[in-house]
Structure 1
Amino acid sequence: MDTATHITMGIALGGIATLDPTVATSSTVATAVMFGTVIGSQIPDIDTVLKLRNNAIYIRHHRGITHSIPAVLLWPIVLSGIIFLFFPSVPFSTLWLWTFLAVFLHVFVDIFNAYGTQALRPFSKKWVAIGVINTFDWVIFLTHLVGIFLWYFGAEPGPLFIGMYCALVFYYLVRFAQKLVIHYKIKKLIPDVTNMIIAPTMGFTSWRLAIVSKQRFYVGRAENGKVEILDEFLRKKLPKSDVISAAKVDPNLSAFLSFSPLYRWVIEEYNDHYEVRFIDLRYRSNDYYPFVAVVKLDEELNILSSYTGWIFSEEKLKEKLKWT
């Protein structure tokens, strides 16, 4: 989920914590626990700072080790220890419990995004991405804002947020049902489908589609339950060539391949260089595929420049690659 939603979830969990008698009877404990739930709801995304280095490192590691099983166990201990230094009278076990729940909730809700997490590490590096909730979901965010607003004006936070989360469970079930209907319609439309990615958008009835059949890739959308194919490409096996082998050494392309499960590739040969481009098919936007990895090599297959990440025009891509 996005940062703003994670913050509101931390506040909501702090409100639920008031059902704990230890928290309810002490404003000091309540304050410390609120710090724990709000910070705990954010801490797994500390790896966002990796973007300051470069996109390749960020793509390869974001929502990786910081969202893993060891991290979920370690973050609450570290955060509770730091907060305890400022609130030494607070029972450490209470502070740890609610901080742990905040960290766990963060990782748990991220699993339902299309981006997903490596939540099963160290047992598996597989990306767990159920793909029924968009990274920013306005229903979830506004529901939390309304709950916080009602709390501010005197509503009992414990029952309020428990009821709110029960309603959101139903919302999640509706999203699962929507995805299942689209899955069924795709199977009916393309009988030889071998894989499909059905990803939510900010629109409640709008989904992005990336589909693999035995011979083709299909890219489309589902609007109000109606499936529409927008692009299709022949599946071509990646050749075993010196150009591809040289390009794969590049960290940007390597990071892209470690993250993207569905892509097509293009090799262009020019007078004095080669261009190898990998295009993620999951993110079609305004007739453009903005998530790419591009490697430029000279005639001796030395890497001249490369880029991976989000780019929305060829002009911007050339700037990134410092092409003239």
Structure 2
Amino acid sequence: MDTGTHVVMGIALGGLATLDPSVASSHATTASVLIATIAGSQIPDIDTVLKLRNNAIYIRNHRGVTHSIPAVLLWPIALLAVIYPFFPDANLLHLWAWTFAAVFIHVFVDIFNAYGTQALRPFSNKWVALGIINTFDPFIFGFHVVGIFIWVLGADPGVTFLLMYAVIVGYYFLRYLAKKRVLDEVRTIIPDATDIIIAPTMKFHKWRIAAMNREQFFVGMALKNKVEILDRFQRIPVPKTPVIEAAKKDKNLSAFLSFSPVYRWEVDEYTDFYEVRFIDLRYRSNGHYPFVAVVQLDRELKPISSYTGWVFSEKKLRKKLSIIPS
């Protein structure tokens, strides 16, 4: 989920914690748990700072080790080491339990996004992405804000957020059913599909689709239960040519390939250099595929420039690469 949603979830969890008698009976425990649930709802995304270095490091590591099983166990202990000295009268066991809940819920809800997490590390580096909830879901965020507002007006926070989460659990189930209907329709249209990726959007009934069979890639959109295939591409295996093999050694393309499950590729030859481009097919927007990896190599197959990330126009991509092909 996005940062804002994780913040309001942390506040809501702190309110829900007042149902715990050990929390409600102690001012120190109540205050420390609220701080801990907010911090615990944020701490796994500390790897966002990697974006300050470059996109390749960020893409390869975001929601990786910081969302792993060891991290989920260690983050609460790290937060307690910082928070507990300020609240020595707090119930340490219950403070740990609610801090752990905040960290666990952060990682758990991220699994439902299309981006996913490597939550099974160190047992598996596979990305777990159920693709049911958009990274920012207006209903989930808005419902949390309403719950917090009702709490501020004087309502019992425990009861308020317990009811709120009961509704949200039902909302997740409805999203699951909506995705399943789209999946069934895609299977009807492409009966020989070997892989189907369905990604949510901010609109409840709108979904992005990327699928493949042995010969083609299919990119489409679903509105309610109606599926429309917008683009088709021949599925051509990536050849092991000297140009492509040299490009794969670049950190940006390597990061892209570690993350993207469905893509097509292009190689263009210019007067002074080659350009290798890999295009993720999951994020079609207004006829454009914004998530790419591009590597430019000279005639000796030495890298000149490269980039991976989101670009919404060719002009901006050229600016990032700082090279205009002749």
- TM bucket, shorter chain: over 0.9
1:239 is aligned to 239
1:188 is aligned to 188
1:268 matched to 2:264:
no
1:62 is aligned to 62
For residue 193 of structure 1, give the secondary structure of its aligned residue in structure 2.
coil
1:43 is aligned to 43
2:218 corresponds to which letter in structure 1? Answer: Y
1:15 is aligned to 15
Deviation at 1:162, TM superposition (A): 1.0
1:298 is aligned to 298
Answer whether contact 2:297 2:304 (CA < 8 A) is retained: yes
2:165 is aligned to 165
For residue 18 of structure 2, give the secondary structure of its aligned residue in structure 1.
helix
- How far, CA to CA, are the matches of 1:309 and 1:153 in structure 2? 43
1:298 corresponds to which letter in structure 2? Answer: D
Deviation at 1:81, TM superposition (A): 1.4
**Normalized against structure 2, the TM-score is what?**
0.98
Deviation at 1:8, TM superposition (A): 0.6
- How far, CA to CA, are the matches of 1:233 and 1:302 in structure 2? 30
**Normalized against structure 1, the TM-score is what?**
0.99
- How far, CA to CA, are the matches of 1:216 and 1:200 in structure 2? 22
Where in structure 2 are there 5+ consecutive unaligned residues? none
Figure out how many residues of one structure are paired with residues of the other and give that number. 324
- How far, CA to CA, are the matches of 1:24 and 1:192 in structure 2? 57
Deviation at 1:124, TM superposition (A): 0.3
- How far, CA to CA, are the matches of 2:231 and 2:249 in structure 1? 30
Answer whether contact 2:26 2:90 (CA < 8 A) is retained: no
Runs of 4+ in structure 1 deviating by more than 6 angstroms, as ranges, are: none
Deviation at 1:9, TM superposition (A): 0.6
- How far, CA to CA, are the matches of 2:249 and 2:158 in structure 1? 53
1:68 corresponds to which letter in structure 2? Answer: S
Where in structure 1 are there 5+ consecutive unaligned residues? none
For residue 180 of structure 1, give the secondary structure of its aligned residue in structure 2.
helix
1:131 matched to 2:137:
no
1:107 corresponds to which letter in structure 2? Answer: V
Deviation at 1:206, TM superposition (A): 0.3
For residue 222 of structure 1, give the secondary structure of its aligned residue in structure 2.
strand
- How far, CA to CA, are the matches of 2:73 and 2:192 in structure 1? 43
For residue 150 of structure 1, give the secondary structure of its aligned residue in structure 2.
helix
Answer whether contact 2:10 2:38 (CA < 8 A) is retained: yes
1:314 matched to 2:310:
no
Could you report, residue by residue, the CA deviation over 1:231-266 in whole angstroms, capped at 9, with x for unpaired residues?
110000111110011000100000000000000000
Deviation at 1:270, TM superposition (A): 1.4
Deviation at 1:210, TM superposition (A): 0.4
Farther-moved stretch of structure 1 (268-277 vs 57-66) = 268-277
RMSD: 0.7
Identity of aligned residues (%): 64
Deviation at 1:224, TM superposition (A): 1.7
- How far, CA to CA, are the matches of 2:224 and 2:129 in structure 1? 23
Answer whether contact 2:278 2:292 (CA < 8 A) is retained: yes
- How far, CA to CA, are the matches of 2:11 and 2:162 in structure 1? 13
- How far, CA to CA, are the matches of 1:183 and 1:152 in structure 2? 42
2:215 is aligned to 215
Farther-moved stretch of structure 1 (251-260 vs 90-99) = 90-99
2:322 corresponds to which letter in structure 1? Answer: K
Deviation at 1:155, TM superposition (A): 1.1
Deviation at 1:90, TM superposition (A): 1.1
1:242 corresponds to which letter in structure 2? Answer: P
For residue 194 of structure 2, give the secondary structure of its aligned residue in structure 1.
strand
Could you report, residue by residue, the CA deviation over 1:122-153 in whole angstroms, capped at 9, with x for unpaired residues?
00000000000000000100111111111111
- How far, CA to CA, are the matches of 2:309 and 2:111 in structure 1? 21
1:67 corresponds to which letter in structure 2? Answer: H
1:166 corresponds to which letter in structure 2? Answer: A
For residue 196 of structure 2, give the secondary structure of its aligned residue in structure 1.
strand
Farther-moved stretch of structure 1 (19-28 vs 225-234) = 19-28
Farther-moved stretch of structure 1 (22-31 vs 65-74) = 22-31
- How far, CA to CA, are the matches of 2:20 and 2:168 in structure 1? 22
- How far, CA to CA, are the matches of 1:61 and 1:145 in structure 2? 30
1:6 matched to 2:6:
yes
- How far, CA to CA, are the matches of 1:23 and 1:95 in structure 2? 8
